[in-house]
Structure 1
Amino acid sequence: MFALIKTMCHPKEFFKPGFRRMTGSKMILLWVVLLLFSAMCKADEGDDVDPCDEASFECPKPNGNFADPCECRRFFICNSYVPTKILCPARLLWDDRKKECTYANEAECGPVEVEEIDEEKEKIEEAPKCDPELCQLPYCLCSKNGDDPPMDPESIPQFILLMIDGAVNTNNFDYYESLLNNTDQAEEKRLKATFFIQNEYCNYYMVERLYTEGHEIALSSVTGENLQRANVSVWRNEFSSLRDILVKFSNVSPEDILGVRAPRLKPGYNEQYQALIEEGFIWDSSVSTLALDPPVWPYTLDYKIPHDCRVKSCPTKSFPGLWELPLNSHFVGDDTGGQCPFVDQCVFSFQSSDDVFGWLKEDFLRHYETNRSPYLLSLHTNWFLTKSQDEGLHKFVDWARTQDDVFFVTATEFLLWLTDENLGQGSKTSYKTPPLLTERKLSCNTPNSCELPHTESNGVESLRYMKTCRDCPQVYPWLKDLGEQN
């Protein structure tokens, strides 16, 4: 009897010698009974699967964010049906309707039924190819290959957009101040930079100093995480939270926070750009190109992106009036140093400061001597940690300032020039820096030093430090939380 029961739940036992000696009719009867009991055994085995075991979670769709059926704080990011567990920050729960982490009294725990995507509608909504007759400045700019300038290059000033990514703190502030030293410089030759701020480990007093000195403050993210596959709500939460933090703790006017760059330079498909529209931003600089000669010009996203994207998550729909300032990959003719959207990603290990200066100059001249597209000089703090690179950049800046038709401007200053109704009426040497949109005055000389509790995404309690002219918050500022909660 034991052998029979064992066979019923483990059919392979049927093929052992003892069972093969049965007669034909008995064999058939036993086989029917065996199949019935085998099905029952499988059903019993299925009953043993714990639906709350995260290993048992199955993605309802190939891509997207989906609620954990048993834990409201937990959700899963699905990529090609492969789930990755994510926890909402402390005190927040996952709202499966809005697809974002929010407060407990606002959260609709899931799972919420997934709506079917109308693939035909998605296809129809793809951005059309450029139509130069319909796309006209100041509201629209496009070209077939992206490299056509808006007017004769001989009359275009050469703009350099120095762009620095990451938190501002004691590890890098002195480097920035040294590079951006504008002492004894005429107004039109003052060095301006655009900073893409990340919240973690940021000194908000130093950000305020940069802001009051005339530099542009733009957004990266609060968490610094890869948001490439995040939905619109997640993108909006990151951008709106960081904007609120900068307004409160760095006294940056919200009217001056106009642009963003995706963390890790990984655009978030159409979702990121829909979030930018909904949050009222003017420009983005998250798209990078392959090595192109001539380089591409900035464009609005009314039409299809005119070049191949280095990271394959660029927007495909139309977002009228939203400006894209693409990062043309840096390179030189003999490929020394490699090709890189951020200059600190290229390799200068064995080169002197003169070599680095020469490399930057050759890369720059590809813009200057062709279509005069703005030269986006994007980098991180680690560029300055190598002495030859730091000194080479200073030499390049000093040389560029001697050129009467080269100007260092912020991203928004460039767009103000490009969309001016008098565009093309002046000479390439007659550019004048526009006045600041808002009055900027440092709100204190001695900031408050804050030691603040912070709950990591994995639930671990830690401490964070920040400086601000404002009163210290109760906890470290984070998503949807300016630190004012108990």
Structure 2
Amino acid sequence: MSRVRVNSAPTMAGLPYTPILLICAILGNVRCQQQDKDAPEFVCPEGTQGNGNFADPATCRRFYQCVDGYPYLNRCPSGLYFDDISKFCTFKAEARCGPIATTPAPITEAPLDLATKCDPAECQLPYCFCSKDGTLIPGGIDPEETPQMIMLTFDGAVNLNNFELYKKVFNGKIKNPNGCAIRGTFFLSHEYSNYVMVQALAHDGHEIATGTVSQQQGLQDKGYEEWAGEMIGMREILRKFANVSRTEVTGARAPFLKPGRNTQFKVMEDFGYIYDSSVGVPPLPIPVWPYTLDYKIPHECKSGTCPTKSFPGLWEVPFNAHYVESFEGGHCPYLDQCVLHNHDSDEVLEWLQEDFSRYYDQNRAPYMMPFHTNWFQIKELERGLHKFLHWAANLKDVWFVTVTQALTWMTDPKSAKSLNNYEPWRCDNRDLPSAPCNLPNKCALSFKHTDSNFTDTRYMETCSECPNQYPWLGDSGGTGIPGTDNYIPDNLKRK
């Protein structure tokens, strides 16, 4: 029997069939077998209507998808593990192995710090934007007149493992309605990055934003000095070794989507960042628009480490959860965390189309497509993405923009019909970083990790001169003198 696609499957009791459920219905009273004979028998929990994702008691590499009370076994993509708190597949170091009893997270911040609820009468564009549940379109524009923005974002280092794969996405063949080639936003981390390639991306008009220098675990619980060292240090490394000026780097993303509570956002405020993109949103029927942090965030905080104070004018570009109605593949903040590795490229296309339609057919919130390199290492996922990009580019009023371009539109919303000559989205008059050099310096540099007792070698390519040693926390210039950097304002320095 050929595989039946979820999107075209019939429904029963308001729930769409998965392919396996449909086959079970066709077989009548024949009992369908578990997907894995070696797996222990799993019973879907009561009180949840039998639907959702649940940890496999035997291993973190798998989880059960309960549909209409029946469990179906899924395996996380290669290298990922099921997190029983967030209910999606993630990196091993981050995954909280289940089953875990659900208890409310304790409140760790003083109530006096809490921001107030959205007040639309006081919150006016271009400096402030909020709505009660985060779903309203800025400027009160009708959805049919709102451009559907797609933001392609990429996390981590840029190097030989992914640079050519990214260039295939941005090969100039897919264009916006104004004739400009599509562009993306790269949240760079330092270790293993090739700064000649980063400079090439910036020269081609892509937005460069900061992850952190080390991508360390547990940063959400660290103080001001640690956050400044990680984020501002990363921005300085980009300036020194990729020729990307400080003023061009206006966005940041916390490691593993775990914001640093109020501390991270205070650093961003002090050092002139415009936006953060680290806050996860649970699966909601209507997606959330970006908002400023003048008021409380308008949705549940998935990480439990979101800001609670007011940071006027600082934007949050949230991670709306990706999912389809049947929850085939689960739900995920990063697209490479959804379980689509056993799909062919047409099924990946259909999955992305259904996920995208929740935005396009409703409030046209920006559709952020966040990726790690993982996605591009599976050819069917890569092909499915390329099919989706070509399909979406042919839809009416769809624009591929950087995060900053999306926020620029939000500060002064305009009808989709008037955007062909919209200055911030044009590509013919931008001051871009210079093209990378033809003969870059290939630097072999000594590096001693703070958690290690031995020194090894790191390799780095740059058009700048090779530093004395591998740039790192406290020494973004690679001078070899620990503690060279000082990003702490005088009023915060330890006495």
TM-score, structure 2 length as denominator?
Answer: 0.71
Deviation of the 1:474 alpha carbon: 0.9
Is the 2:280–2:321 Cα contact (8 Å) retained in structure 1? yes
1:140 alignment counterpart: 128
Q: Could you tell me how far apart the structure 1 residues matched to 2:418 and 2:369 are?
A: 20
Of 438, 452, 457, which residue of structure 2 is paired with 1:445? 438
User: Which amino acid letter does the alignment assign opposite residue 453 of structure 1?
Assistant: S
Of 473, 477, 484, which residue of structure 1 is paired with 2:479? 484
Corresponding position: 1:181 with 2:174 = no
| DSSP 3-state at the match of 1:390 | helix
User: Which amino acid letter does the alignment assign opposite residue 446 of structure 1?
Assistant: L
Is the 2:279–2:316 Cα contact (8 Å) retained in structure 1? yes
2:15 alignment counterpart: none
Is the 2:146–2:416 Cα contact (8 Å) retained in structure 1? no
1:156 alignment counterpart: 146
Of 264, 274, 283, which residue of structure 1 is paired with 2:266? 274
1:68-104: CA deviation from partner (whole Å, max 9, x where unpaired): xxxxxxxxxxxxxxxxxxxxxxxxxxxxxxxxxxxxx
Deviation of the 1:434 alpha carbon: 3.8
1:309 alignment counterpart: 301
Is the 1:218–1:259 Cα contact (8 Å) retained in structure 2? yes
Q: Could you tell me how far apart the structure 1 residues matched to 2:150 and 2:109 are?
A: 40
Q: Could you tell me how far apart the structure 2 residues matched to 1:313 and 1:353 are?
A: 36
Q: Could you tell me how far apart the structure 2 residues matched to 1:444 and 1:297 are?
A: 39
Deviation of the 1:122 alpha carbon: 4.0
More helix by share: 1
1:283-294 mapped onto 2 (5 Å cutoff): 283-294=275-286
Deviation of the 1:155 alpha carbon: 1.2
Give aligned-pair identity as a percent. Answer: 47
Q: Which runs of 5+ in 2 are unaligned?
A: 1-106, 482-495
With over 3 angstroms needed to count, the CA separation of the structure-2 counterparts of 1:269 and 1:348, relative to structure 1, is: same
1:5 alignment counterpart: none
Report the more deviating stretch, 217-226 or 440-449. Answer: 440-449
Q: Could you tell me how far apart the structure 2 residues matched to 1:338 and 1:428 are?
A: 38
RMSD: 1.9
Q: Could you tell me how far apart the structure 2 residues matched to 1:465 and 1:452 are?
A: 6
With over 3 angstroms needed to count, the CA separation of the structure-2 counterparts of 1:135 and 1:180, relative to structure 1, is: same
Is the 2:149–2:401 Cα contact (8 Å) retained in structure 1? yes
Is the 2:199–2:433 Cα contact (8 Å) retained in structure 1? no
Q: Could you tell me how far apart the structure 1 residues matched to 2:108 and 2:462 are?
A: 51
1:23-42 mapped onto 2 (5 Å cutoff): none
With over 3 angstroms needed to count, the CA separation of the structure-2 counterparts of 1:355 and 1:279, relative to structure 1, is: same
With over 3 angstroms needed to count, the CA separation of the structure-2 counterparts of 1:382 and 1:120, relative to structure 1, is: closer
With over 3 angstroms needed to count, the CA separation of the structure-2 counterparts of 1:145 and 1:121, relative to structure 1, is: closer
1:136-189: CA deviation from partner (whole Å, max 9, x where unpaired): 111101011111111221211000000100000000111000111114846545
Corresponding position: 1:195 with 2:183 = no
With over 3 angstroms needed to count, the CA separation of the structure-2 counterparts of 1:175 and 1:120, relative to structure 1, is: closer
Corresponding position: 1:467 with 2:448 = no
1:425-468: CA deviation from partner (whole Å, max 9, x where unpaired): 55276464145663322141221111000011123211100100
1:223 alignment counterpart: 214
2:79 alignment counterpart: none
Q: Could you tell me how far apart the structure 1 residues matched to 2:303 and 2:374 are?
A: 22
With over 3 angstroms needed to count, the CA separation of the structure-2 counterparts of 1:121 and 1:306, relative to structure 1, is: closer
Q: Could you tell me how far apart the structure 2 residues matched to 1:339 and 1:185 are?
A: 29
Q: Could you tell me how far apart the structure 2 residues matched to 1:262 and 1:268 are?
A: 7
Is the 1:191–1:408 Cα contact (8 Å) retained in structure 2? yes
Q: Could you tell me how far apart the structure 2 residues matched to 1:338 and 1:316 are?
A: 29
User: Which amino acid letter does the alignment assign opposite residue 356 of structure 1?
Assistant: V
Deviation of the 1:365 alpha carbon: 0.7
Report the more deviating stretch, 215-224 or 427-436. Answer: 427-436
Corresponding position: 1:232 with 2:224 = yes
User: Which amino acid letter does the alignment assign opposite residue 458 of structure 2?
Assistant: R
Is the 1:161–1:377 Cα contact (8 Å) retained in structure 2? yes
Q: Could you tell me how far apart the structure 2 residues matched to 1:395 and 1:431 are?
A: 27
Q: Could you tell me how far apart the structure 1 residues matched to 2:210 and 2:418 are?
A: 31
| DSSP 3-state at the match of 2:342 | coil
Is the 1:157–1:431 Cα contact (8 Å) retained in structure 2? no
Q: Could you tell me how far apart the structure 2 residues matched to 1:455 and 1:144 are?
A: 49
Task: Give 1 or 2 for the bigger CA radius of gyration.
Answer: 1
TM-score, structure 1 length as denominator?
Answer: 0.73
